[in-house]
Amino acid sequence: MKNTIKNIAALFLIFVFSGSIANAQGWTVPNSAKKKQNPYEATSKNISSGKKIYNLHCKSCHGDPTMANMIPLAPVAPTDLGSQNFLVQSDGEIYYKVNKGQGAMPTFEKTISDEDKWMVITFLRSFDKNKKMKQQVAEVKNPEVTDVKFELNVNEADKTMLAKLSGVTKKGKRVGLQGIEMSFLVKRSFGYLDVSGEDPYTNESGDVQIQFPKDLPGDREGQVNMLVKVTDDAFYGKLEEKRVVTLGVPTDPVNPLDERAMWGTRANAPIWIIVTFVGGVLAIWSVIFLVLFQMIKLPKLAKNKD
């Protein structure tokens, strides 16, 4: 009887154990999830917004796609998400894994939106050698240009900024470049706040206009440090401009030490505390002196009585 129980227990253990080994090696995705299709097209717009989200949420562990510069985590290092081994998976499979997470890979089910997840997958697909051809969708094509630059116009009255992106064609004509994403970033203490808004892509004439937030604090004069750049270096190399603009709300920082408060140190204790304390000390000492004085007078009084 005892033996049977032992055997059953052993069998059970083996079963559990083998199950966990299988789990550690592979990552099974239900068939239904594999079939899910990416609803978004592989336009350069989607790819570059996917890259942005990738850099924010995935890069810190997985590194840059195809560069194999992931962080070396043990026991399982993160995969290079641009490798062909990874990209043989269907969109649905990748989507499922991003959602669920496993081990050190967190779940992103609730932390990033569905649209953003598909954008990341679109971005990763752009490294796929097999699917690349088929995924190219007809897009506006900019002519080949040199000397690409942008001009920045700031309208302080209605707090807008206009960037005009242009390049010189082979014929020597300067033309606007269309459909390129620009980033408008405001310098803050520990990073850049993106104020580009929903659709910061250049139009047919190479213009993009953004509305600066009306309530964003600047310094005492309302000045803020802006960094404007072409979001994706892959198009025309690094293009950026730093500028101080007076678009913020003038803000006077309050120094909490300016007011006297209970929590302040001796230097800014409330007046009433100082008065009560000093008054109390004075009162007590005067009573003591009064008593002493009276006591000195006692012998005199006694003499007088005699």
Partner 1 sequence: MKEETSNNSRRKFLKSFGISVGAAGVVSSFSLIGAAKAAAKKPAEMVNLLTQDGQLVQVDKNQLRPTVNEPLDELQKRGREGIPGKSFVMVIDLSKCRNARKCMSACQNHHQLRADQHHINVLQMQDAEHTAPYFMPKPCQHCDNPPCTKVCPVDATFKRQDGIVLIDNERCIGCRFCIAACPYSARIFQWTEPKDSEKYKDLTYNIEANVPQKKGTVSKCLFSADRLREDKLPSCVSACPNGVYYFGDRNEDAVTNGTTGETVRFSKLIEENAGYTLMEELGTKPRVYYLPPKNRAFEFNGDLLNEENLH
**Residues at the interface with partner 1 (CB under 8 A):** 56-57, 60, 104, 106-111, 186, 188-194, 213, 215-217, 219, 251, 253-257, 261-266
Smallest distance, Å, CB 270 to partner 1? Answer: 11
Q: Which is nearer to partner 1, 25 or 265 (CB)?
A: 265
Nearer to partner 1, 3 or 265 (CB): 265
Least spacing, CB of residue 261 vs partner 1, in Å: 8
**How far is it, in rounded angstroms, from Cα 132 to Cα 87?**
11
Q: How far is the CB of 294 from partner 1 (least distance, A)?
A: 34
Longest dimension (CA), the chain: 129
Residues 6+ apart with CB under 8 A from 7: none
Query: Which one-letter amino acid corresponds to residue 164?
Result: K
Nearest approach, Cβ of residue 265 and partner 1 (Å): 5
Residue closer to partner 1, measured from CB, 111 or 211: 111
Q: Which is nearer to partner 1, 57 or 179 (CB)?
A: 57
Q: Which is nearer to partner 1, 5 or 254 (by Cβ)?
A: 254
Nearer to partner 1, 45 or 52 (CB): 52
Angle (deg, nearest 10), helices 114-125 and 91-100: 130
Surface-to-core class of residue 247, CB atoms within 10 Å of its CB (0-12 exposed, 13-18 middle, 19+ buried): buried
52 contact partners, CB below 8 Å, separation of at least 6: 231
DSSP at 90: -
For the record, the structure tokens of 288 come out as 């003591």
Residue type, 227: L
> What dihedral do alpha carbons 86, 92, 95, 101 form, nearest 10°?
-70
- Residue number with CB closer to partner 1 (254 or 302): 254
3-state DSSP call for residue 89? coil
Shortest separation between residue 257's beta carbon and partner 1, angstroms? 5
Min dist CB 228 to partner 1, Å, is: 16
List Cα–Cα distances, 98 to 4, 40, 89, 156, 216, in angstroms. Answer: 44, 17, 13, 43, 34
Query: For residues 82 and 125, what is the distance between their CA atoms, to the nearest angstrom?
Result: 8
Count the alpha carbons within 13 Å of 249 in the hemisphere toward its beta carbon: 7
Nearer to partner 1, 215 or 306 (CB): 215
Please name the helix (run of DSSP H) or strand (run of DSSP E) that holds residue 240, with its range, or none. strand 240-245
Measured from the CB of residue 91, what is the shortest distance to partner 1 in angstroms? 22
Q: In the bound complex, what is the minimum distance in angstroms from residue 159's beta carbon to partner 1?
A: 15
Q: Are 51 and 58 in contact (CB under 8 A)?
A: no
